[in-house]
Structure formats: C-alpha cells, structure tokens
Chain A
C-alpha cells in the first residue's frame, strides 16, 4: 500500500540488491539483538519475581519451548516494527541494507509482519539469494520485496506500502 504523497525509492546503482554475505551478516546481528532482547525479558521477569517475593526468589526455570516461543515472538515484533517504520532492522542498518516493496517503498505494517513471520519461521529461504539472479530470497520472491544497499540515513526513505 502506497500513500498518495509517498515517492518510490530509486533503484539506481546505489540501490543494488544486496548479496548473501551482507544479508546473512545482518541476520546474525538481528539474531543477537533478539537474543539480547529475550535476555532482557528474562531478567525483567526475574526482577519482577524478586520484587514480588524476594524471600522465595529463584531464577526462573524457562523451558526450551517457552524460550523458543518468546524468542520468535520478539523476533517477529522486532522485525515488523523495524521494517514497517524504517525499512531496516539494526543489523540491516549496520550493514547498509534496506527492505523495499515491489514499488520501491518501505513496506507497510501488514507486509512487514508477513515478511517477519516468513523470515522467522523459514530462514532457509534466504539461501535463494545465492541462486537468484536478482538476489532475492524466497520471501522476496513470494512477497515481491527486495533488499538493497542503502548507505544513507536510517529515515531517508519515507515511502511505505
């Protein structure tokens, strides 16, 4: 979805589709961010339990499943918000990448959420970048998005779908 006053981001040489190396690096940074956020959630919960019952405080014993759910949830929310607001997560910002819709604008909230879920639950789809001549992952092919190099400021693209 494109707003009336939004302008598409150009696709010149400086906005070439990003390769597998930078996108994997960005994904790794984002995974670290998600792990840190999950740890903060764990520490927060533990702190709440300490405040609630200091005498009987023990570190929360979180199961793997819960941990996985929480981490996935944090990852979906983090990526959705990052792509919908600026088109780039922290990892993408660090590596100079930006996610654009097929119109060349920042993805809207629905598109960002779907792409976030798709990426979290099917990260292997990123490997298609290696084989794709347009350096598109499976998510990009399905959702008609593209990840390009963009070394400008984080908020330079204003258009959204």
Chain B
C-alpha cells in the first residue's frame, strides 16, 4: 500500500473494509478524493471513506492512487459480502418491523384506555408483550450488532486513533485528579499486593549502596529528632527486668576496674545526700561492736601522742568548775560542824537535866516538873 506524503492514507483490513484517513487529522473533502468501486458505484468522502466492495480504487487530486486488492481468503469475503448484503437488504424490513411494532403498541394502548374490559384483561400482560417484542428484537439484532462491533474494533487501531484525534492534554486538564484519588480504594489495592514478593524482588543492597548515608545524616537535625522522641514511653515499654535477667552481671563486674571507678568518684556530694541518721538507726551497733577485736586496734594507738594533744589542765579546770568543789567542802564541813554542835547541845541538855534531877532530889522536887514552866 503506497501513499503520498500529504495524501490520505488507505488501510484495508482482512475483512475487505477500506479505511481512508488523513495525516493532518482533518477531513477528506470530496473534491480531493475519489473512491470508485468495480461495480461502478461512487462513494463520496462524506461517507467516512468506508466501503465494503472487494475492489476499491482511491485516487486523489494530486495523483496518488491506491488499489485495494482482495488478499484474504474467498470464504471470508463471501461471508462478509453476504452479511453486508443481508444487512443492507433487510434495512427496509427492519424499519418496517419497528414501525409496525410501534403502531401495534399505540393501537393496543389506545384500546386499553377506551375499554375497561380490555384494560382488565391486558393488565399485567402489556409489559409481557412489550418484553417479548424487545426480546425478539434483541435476539435477532444481538448477533448482528456483535459481529459488526467486533469487525469495527478489529479494523480500527483505537490507540492510534485516540492519539491522533484526541487532545489528551485537554482531557487531562479537565480531570479532577483529587476526586479520582478519593474514589480509589487504596486499602483494597494494597491488600491485593503481595508486598513480600515485591520486597524480595528489590535489590536492597544496591539501593543502600547508592544512598549517601553521610549526607543524609549530616542533614538530619538530631536534636529535633531527640526532642520528638518520647523516651519515657519507650522506657516504660521496655522490659528492663527481662533485659537485666539476660545480663551476666558476674562477668560484667569481673571486667570492671572498681579501683579506677572509685578514684574518679566525687563521694562528698553523694555522702551529703545520704541520711546517715537513718542508716545508723538501722545498724545493729551492738552486733558490730561485738565483732570488733579491740586488742589490735588498741595496740596500734599511740597514746603518748594522743595525750600530748589533750589539754588535760583545761579539762581538769572545767571538771573542777563543774563540780563546785568549794560548795562540796562547805557542805561537808558544815555537816561535820552541825554534827559536833548537835552533840554539844545534846550533851549540854543532858547535863542540865542531870543537874536539875540532882537539885530536885536535894529539894525533893519531882524531876518531871523541873525545867518546865508551871
């Protein structure tokens, strides 16, 4: 099939249908294209350039001529010719049938309106009759329509046709992409995807090797990331008991240099926070002291140095001041003096009584009365 550069193009399908198209996506005018058939028929370009006869000659005003020769098998041509002829021949019959059916329906409907009896008799049956008619029509026309559509789809390159005749950019501009996306059931789509298989097909090593991890990390604001991390929630979710149970603490302790750790510790702030009173209250001092062997401790004590640092004179002075020695001496001497005085008084009183009794016996007075006031 030869074509001119600006001439209309001709395509002939296996069914013998010739399609005329123009590269400038315009229509082919009648003065520039002449289609003639072997049977002497002439088809103008306004007939969409499609003809069913076998031998078609297409010529344009600029001299381009295309001859469509029958190359398919004879049976196919015969069938298509018969179908075309039948379709063309039955056109008036089909038109008359449809007209008769419409007329019959109109007559029946008018009769039902005029006759109540007929209305009752045909109630519910009109739909059946109409349905039967439609079913008959569909049974007759469906195969024909199906064959015609299949033949058209086979002959037409819809993709090429759409690309050449449809302004896809304008169509895309009029599309409401958001509405389309909203109508898409992404969950359903994802559910149908075999993600495992998809992942297995991915060469992750290659992808990772292509990533500039240093550059990515340099661009990350680690501080902001840490601020957004809820560390408390993470810690609460961690099974610390289980984690600790897995740790071999003995091995860890053996590897630690406790002396070095102790040298680096500032114990003063720690000790300042310790409630020593509470610690001492919990200690069994008696048990601790009972376990102490004082002899080695005492043997190591330098008592001479300890005594040299003690102000014994000052301590003695404080003791004497606290004892109130003069008061003690005064009280003791006073008690001694009072005892001596008491003894002198008792002795003197007894002597008085003895003298009184003696005088009483001399003067024959009763001793009991002596010394007492009358």
Contact = CB atoms under 8 A, between A and B. Distances in A.
B345 A19 contact: no
A54 interface: no
Q: How would you classify the secondary structure of chain A's contact residues: helix, strand, loop or mixed?
A: mixed
A103 interface: no
B122 to A, nearest CB: 153
Contacts of A32: none
A156 to B, nearest CB: 15
A130 B344 contact: no
Contacts of A17: 371-373
Contact of A96 (B345, B353, B356, B359): B345
Given A17-B373, A19-B355, A25 B348 contact: yes
Interface string A41-67: 000000000000000000000000000
Contact of B370 (A21, A133, A149): A133
A133 B345 contact: no
Interface residues of A, number: 20
Contacts of B344: 25, 94-95
Contacts of B371: 16-17, 19, 134-135
Given A22-B345, A130-B359, 12 more contacts: A16-B371, A18-B349, A18-B352, A19-B349, A19-B356, A21-B352, A94-B344, A96-B341, A134-B371, A134-B372, A134-B374, A151-B345
Interface of B: 341-342, 344-345, 348-349, 351-353, 355-356, 359, 363, 365, 369-374
22 contacts: A16-B371, A16-B372, A17-B371, A17-B373, A18-B352, A21-B352, A21-B355, A22-B345, A22-B348, A22-B349, A95-B344, A95-B345, A95-B348, A96-B345, A96-B349, A133-B369, A134-B371, A134-B372, A134-B373, A149-B345, A149-B349, A151-B342
Interface of A: 11, 16-22, 25, 94-96, 130-131, 133-135, 146, 149, 151
